[in-house]
Amino acid sequence: MRRPATTLAIAATLALSACGSHAPSRVPRIVGLTLRGAEQQLASHHLRWRIAPGTQIYSQTLPANQHTSMDDIPVTGQHPAANTPARPNTVITIITPCTSTHPCA
């Protein structure tokens, strides 16, 4: 009879430890950073992002030796706001001065 009790105790411990690994973190403040810096911050927090007004969702930064014309564009807004609780893989919208009517690149 002890064996099922031990199994239940191990299962409960594993369940509690698994819950902790999915605990929400906080969205970092990316306003004021460059686009490259914002992407690095979000990736380090296990978050995904899209650059408004686009719909493409990103989860990985470019390699350090690869550059684009958008790297130094300033981030002027974000959604959700900084310090908002967020689970891993939450999509953060990055807002820059670039729009479909006034492209930066």
- pLDDT tens digits along 43-63: 999 999 999 999 999 999 999
Q: What whole-number percentage of the chain has pLDDT above 90?
A: 66
> How far, in Å, CA of 103 to CA of 92, rounded?
20
Spatial separation of the C-alpha atoms in residues 54 and 11, rounded to whole Å: 44
pLDDT confidence of residue 31 = 97
Q: What tens digit of pLDDT does each residue of 67-79 get? A: 998 899 999 999 9
The answer to whether the beta carbons of residues 39 and 61 sit under 8 Å apart is yes
Decide if 73 contacts 34 (C-beta within 8 A): yes
pLDDT at 80: 97
Higher pLDDT, 102 or 26: 26
User: What are the φ/ψ torsions at residue 59 (nearest 5 degrees)?
Assistant: -135, -5
Q: Which residues lie across from 34 on neighbouring strands?
A: 74
Q: Which CATH fold would you assign to the domain 24-105?
A: Trypsin Inhibitor V; Chain A (3.30.10)
pTM of the entire structure? 0.74
